[in-house]
Amino acid sequence: MADLVPLETHLAEVLAAATPLPARSVSLDAARGSVLARDVRTAWSLPPDDNSAMDGYAVRRDDVSGAPVRLRVVADVPAGSALDPPIGPGECARIMTGAPVPSDADAIVPLEATDLGTGRTERLDEHVTILTPPNPGAHIRRRGEDAAAGDLVLAAGRVLGPRELSACASAGVARVEVVAPPRVAIVSTGAELVSVEEAAVGGASAHGVGRGRIVDSNGILLAGLVAEAGAEVVVRTRVADDRDAFTALVRELGVLDADPERSRTSGEPERPGRSSDEVTTNAPNRPVDVVVVTGGASVGAFDVARLVLEPAGIGFRGVAMQPGKPQGFGVAPSGVLVFSLPGNPVSVFASFEAFVRPALRRLRGERWPVRRTSEHVAVSGWRCPPGRAQLMPVRFVPGGVEPATDRGSGSHLVARLAAAEALAHVPADTDEVRVGDLVTCWELT
Ligand SMILES: Nc1nc2c(c(=O)[nH]1)N[C@H]1C(S)=C(S)[C@@H](COP(=O)(O)OP(=O)(O)OC[C@H]3O[C@@H](n4cnc5c(N)ncnc54)[C@H](O)[C@@H]3O)O[C@H]1N2
Ligand code: MOO
């Protein structure tokens, strides 16, 4: 890992390998949170008719220009009515908000501008006095003023949230083409890892979980991040630093070619060295799209991820960033994207934000693979690692941001990471952030 590669270079290579997954047609409810694969156009005009913006009376403006004027009420047009009653000179129709404006009327007079006022009554008065003359077209919402039939409402690449789905429904689009969510497998490696449940049963004490042991926090961290990014966690498991166990696991996940010996034996695959609390939330009935491995990415003697994945064509390199220097990435022959992240929890988080999230966003068809950034003033300063971009956990304080903890961006500070509200991205050529400097932040909350 002699020469460190810039973060931007590694990201560009990751993104070049990630292309949107196939699209499928789903109902609007099923589409929530997915990304639109094809433009949506209105099936009809919005609003569909000229309709009233007020509860009041639909009038002929010429009749009421000399208001006050008394008119005969010849019809009642509630919302939902399909009526188009004729309105002659000296006549008007009572109308409610949203109801189609009669073709003979050209203005709406709100109840407040009549002698009948807003006293609620269902009874239809025979006459009404208009107190003030309306402007031409007053309180009429015009057909098509929001969108004409066939107009583009949403472009492909748009994430379908509540506003987008309400626009689709209004536009008469009952089903939309969305990109399938990426299916992700999460694999924590490390002989030292135990689940929090195992640790607690084993007698959690002031001493900890047992000498040399550590709770697998990366699994739950990544599961949450993957779900938050709009992808599906289909496998989440731990595996010890055991070459055979890891090899069998990644082969099952489509990272390595099928083992001809193993595929001749039918039934359950053997699972040597795999954790007993494996979570498989949704058995992979179609292959996973992405495998994210944590731990064993560095140069240690037991760094099993690298030992197995590198000969299989996954590239390992040092990226000029802190935390998150050792990175493995590649595309398996099956097409599965493989990320082999360093094991340190803050490194996992920084690596996910820098590389995995953008890849997931690209796979699921989002227009912008990277998070939007914002600039904030540093209200206290900090030192930066020479020659490496820094992703510093920061929090928002009056006037700007400051490091989220007094221990900076140390890659093992898992408890302190929880205090972060943003990651400040400091360029590799900056040795120090001084009070008053503007820093670019990836907002997390
Ligand atoms: N001689 C060198 N040593 C190291 C280098 C180096 O360049 N030369 N790089 C350091 C850097 S930087 C990082 S980052 C780490 C990355 O190491 P690995 O990817 O091999 O990760 P592990 O050794 O397996 O674990 C590192 C650390 O993280 C803890 N860990 C691992 N998995 C989990 C998990 N699922 N949940 C919570 N914590 C986890 C593990 O216990 C270790 O403390 O290498 C440096 N070394
Ligand atoms: O690059 Mo490592 O993630 O700092 O500890």
We report the CATH number of the domain holding residue 316 as: 3.40.980.10
Q: Which two tokens stand for residue 67?
A: 């208001």
Spell out the residues 6+ positions from residue 31 whose beta carbon is closer than 8 angstroms to its own. Answer: 160, 165, 168, 176, 178
Q: Do the domain assignments include residue 266?
A: no
> Tokens standing for 330?
């590649």
What's the whole-number mean pLDDT along residues 293-318?
A: 90
Residue 268 lies in a domain: no
Residue the block writes with tokens 């004027």: 69
Q: In sequence order, which residues have a C-beta less than 8 Å from that of residue 249 and are 6 or more positions away?
A: 187, 237, 239, 271, 274
Q: Which of 333, 364, 395 is the last residue of a domain?
A: 364
372 to each of 136, 172, 367, how far by Cα in Å?
45, 32, 12
Of 154-163, 184-193, 255-264, 429-438, which gets the smallest average pLDDT? Answer: 255-264
Whether 250 and 388 map to the same domain: the answer is: no
Query: Are 166 and 58 contained in the same domain?
Result: no
Instruction: Give the number of whichever ligand sits closest to the CA of residue 294.
Output: 1
Domain endpoint, select from 318, 337, 364: 364
The whole-angstrom separation of Cα 43 and Cα 116 is 40
Are 132 and 252 within one domain? no
User: Same domain, yes or no, for 211 and 331?
Assistant: yes
Give pairs for 275-278: CB < 8 Å, separation 24+.
275/193, 275/195, 275/237, 275/238, 275/239, 275/240, 277/195, 277/197, 277/198, 277/238, 278/236, 278/237, 278/238
**Is residue 193 a part of any domain in this protein?**
yes
Q: Which atom of ligand 2 is nearest to the CA of 324?
A: 3
Could you tell me if residue 277 is inside a domain?
no
Residues 386 and 426 in one domain: yes
Helix (H) or strand (E) holding 107, with range, is strand 107-110
242 and 339 in a single domain? The answer is yes
With tokens 């006022």, the residue in question is: 117
Give the pLDDT of residue 412: 86
Strands (E), 170-276: 175-179, 183-189, 193-194, 214-215, 232-239
Kindly report the pTM of this predicted structure.
0.89
Is-contact 91 52, C-beta < 8 A? no
Among 193, 294, 344, name the best residue to mutate to test ligand 1's pocket (greatest count of ligand atoms within 8 A of Cβ).
344
User: Is pLDDT at 430 greater than 90 in this prediction?
Assistant: yes
81 plus 228 within the same structural domain = no
pLDDT at 440 over 60: yes
- Domain CATH for 36: 3.90.105.10
Residue with CA nearest ligand 1 atom 2: 299
* 295 and 348 share one domain: yes
**How many other C-beta atoms can be found within 10 angstroms of the C-beta atom of residue 192?**
16
Q: Is the same domain home to 103 and 241?
A: no
d(CA 174, CA 168) in angstroms, rounded, equals: 7
CA distance 195 to 187: 13
Which residue type sits at 350? A
Which residue ranges have their beta carbon within 6 Å of ligand 1? 1, 188, 190, 192-193, 214, 216-219, 294-300, 303, 323, 325-326, 342-345, 347, 411-412
Instruction: Read off the pLDDT band of 277 (50, 70, 90).
Output: very low
What are residue 378's phi and psi, to 5 degrees? Answer: -80, 120
In a domain, 111, yes or no: yes
pLDDT band at 206 (very low <50, low <70, confident <90, very high): low
CATH number, residue 406: 2.40.340.10
Average pLDDT, the chain: 91
Q: Looking at the CA of residue 347, tell me the nearest atom of ligand 2.
A: 3
Ligand 2 pocket test target in 1, 5, 294, 344 with most atoms within 8 Å of CB: 344
Per-residue pLDDT averaged across 316-335, rounded?
A: 96
Give 259's pLDDT tier (boundaries 50, 70, 90): low
Distance, CA of 83 to CA of 152 (rounded, Å): 30
The verdict on 55 and 163 lying in the same domain is no
The verdict on residue 157 lying in a domain is yes
- Give the Cα separation of 107 and 164 in Å (integer): 32
Total structural domains within the chain? 4
ipTM, interface predicted TM-score of the complex? 0.96
CA gap 249, 292 in Å, rounded: 12
Tokens 């699994």 sit on residue: 219
Q: What is the band of 279 on the pLDDT scale with cuts at 50, 70, 90?
A: very low
Of the candidates 364, 385, 408, which is a domain's last residue? 364
* Shared-domain flag, residues 113 and 63: yes
pLDDT in tens, 362-411: 999 999 999 889 999 999 999 999 999 999 999 999 999 999 988 877 88
CATH of the domain at 137: 2.170.190.11
By residue count, the chain amounts to 445
Report which bound ligand comes closest to the CA of 189: 1
Tell me, yes or no, whether 424 lies in a domain. Answer: yes
For residue 308, pLDDT beyond 80:
yes
Q: How confident is the model at residue 9 (pLDDT cuts 50, 70, 90)?
A: very high
User: Which range marks the domain in which residue 433 is found?
Assistant: 373-443
Are 236 and 247 members of one domain? yes
CA atoms within 13 A on the CB side of 217: 16
**265: in domain:** no
